[in-house]
Structure 1
Amino acid sequence: MFKLIHFLLLIFILCSSAVFSKEIKPNDPVAEQIMAELMQEMQQVKLEYKQRNFGLQKELVVVIKRLDSPATIQEQVQLLVRKENLKQELSINYKLEQADISKIRYIKGLEIIKLLYDKVLALDHHFATITTFNEINKIANPNSYPEFAKMKEVLVQKKDAKTGFNMSNLMNSNVYTSVIYSFVSLFTNENTTKTQKEDSLKEVECILDFTLRMQNDLNTIYFETAFLQKSNEGIKSDLERLFVDYTKTLKYNASLAACRNNDDWDTIKESLNQYLVNLNKTIKDQGQTAKAQKMQINLEFPIDRLLQFITQYNSFIDQGSKFYQKFHIMLNSYENQKQCESKIPLEYLKMKDGIVVAIDKFNTAYKPVEINGSKMKEILYGVNEYE
């Protein structure tokens, strides 16, 4: 139980940069302060029940010892009754403690859902502002460059009436047929001098080199980014469904989007408090043990589902980060960039800068921080090496 609690708490704390619109770095004193406060809250719950149970446990030890001593039947009956009452009180306290812990887990889980939804929406915005297919086509197609279009226009004007021919719009829009047609027309055209041909070729050589080398890579970047965008839509839908299941126990019916837009988180917390009041009453009623157990499970189950979703979300972010690292390698693979610097489109350079920013965001803003080493031991196994 405490492993999951600490796991949820730590994810929330270390990811809270999105909540405060500020990236909190691992050594940020604000993050350390929040961690200390929340861990103190958890320890306070444990300490409260430890103190509450101390007297009961001490008395139970005394009663058990007295049962081993000679006594009348009446005294033994009284001791047995007291022993069972003490065990019952300790059992109730244990269940109440679990309920209090579940409340903390539930609230922190709710905050994580809010945090992750903000991240998913930020990803939505990110994908909405990326280069579109038309922009990619513009960068990768030599027909989009004025120099190439001008050369083709000159060739058409000076084409040989006997050997020249016109290409259809469909074939002309194709990168490869358009380039082949232009080369054939350029070198077979008898109405242009050798110098004119060389000058025309020199004017477009960087454009042709860049577009023919980079077209496949640019198209790959577009389609794989479209895949990531679609995947993010799936993550968003899964999170919205999770929220419905998460709040169904509390009979909260609004959608995640509506809750966020109306800032209705406090309503859920109020419903949770009322649920806990009913749960505590049920726990104390020994005749409703099964009902209390069911209520506790109904509260715990969606929290465990949230943990599963966090794994799914992290996997998607890892995938996105690797995709963008691959994009970065692709965009930096153009070997003649320095030689053709003056002809490379500005959109290509902006795309390269955008990829670098995206990689950073996938590794920071969008992704919960991973914890390793001794802190991971403390979270998963409750082992504190400094105690």
Structure 2
Amino acid sequence: MIFYLLACSLAAMAYISGNPGDRDVFRAYELRMSGQVDEAKALLLQVLDTDSTNAMAHYEMARLNFYLLTGGGGTRLEDVTAHISKAADLEPDNVIYAYYRAVSGFMNAFMFMQTGQEDKIKGAVDETCSLLRKVLLLKPDYYEPMLYLVEIYGMLPPEMGGDSAQAAHYAGKLSETNAYFGARAREVLAPEGTDLVKFWENEIAGNGRTPELLYRTAIAGILAGNPEVAEKYYNEVKSRDPSANLLQLQLGRYHMMKVMQNREIASTELPVAITCFEKYLQTLPEPVVPLKAYTLGLMARANMFLGNQEEGEKLQQQAAAIDKYFSKASGVPSQILFEPPDKICHHYFSFFSPF
């Protein structure tokens, strides 16, 4: 946490001689990251009341509204898209805003899929892909939006906006420019039933034991239902990249998800999940407040499911005490919410995978 706060302070110093509104936006970001979400929102509203054309304030408000959306804060997806669209329109050359606009755009398509509004899905998907291509016009070597195009075009059927030729096109571009993202693209397009652990072990054999490849092999182990493989590669990668501690949290989620599929194994799987969560909270670098609260919330749910009501309520109170709007979603909150507002995000999360 000390290193995180230092990073925030150093980044904030960059704005001391800049726009006062931007300095306040950075302060709002720091408040949100410390669990003071209401105070952060109040400050952003003040900034926008003073200057409604502050693009960074609209961007940060979009991220804050999405965080509230996952934490029961009474916001809607429209509150996210309205602010990020405004930010991107105000500064059309800003790749940070363009990227978040594209990612948020797919949320609309996802909601249409979830609610059965089939007549709206393809239009929303087409718009998302158009926005992702605009990001690449601003930054041609931005691999994350290119990988999203591979996923969306490659995993959706044509009637929903899928396009296998476009998926292959962008996968080819990734393979030509970045070995790791090229492998990620090939993974997306691999035939159903592909042994993904072996796939990534082959990548390691050909490209070395890099942290990125070790991390993906651990994730492949989780997806294959083989936590032993995941633990093996996590133990190796964490010594090289401490930020890979998120894998410990994902391992806990894996054991919880097994119980969602088969409640009869709760007595054996949930204690393992709780242990994983406890280990994650003890890792360094220390998890940021939103992820710490989220993890405590998962531990509370697991304990309550096991009948440990008192312990569950205690953990729930601990989570709410540090961040009352902590995410109630099953998936880990995206790291795109936690980057400073002036930093390009290179954390990739899949729309189509739970890990």
Length-normalised TM-score, structure 2? 0.20
Computing the radius of gyration over CA atoms, which structure comes out larger, 1 or 2?
1
Higher relative contact order (CA 8 A, sep 6+): 1
Relative to total residues, which structure has the larger helix share, 1 or 2? Answer: 1
TM value normalised by structure 1 = 0.19
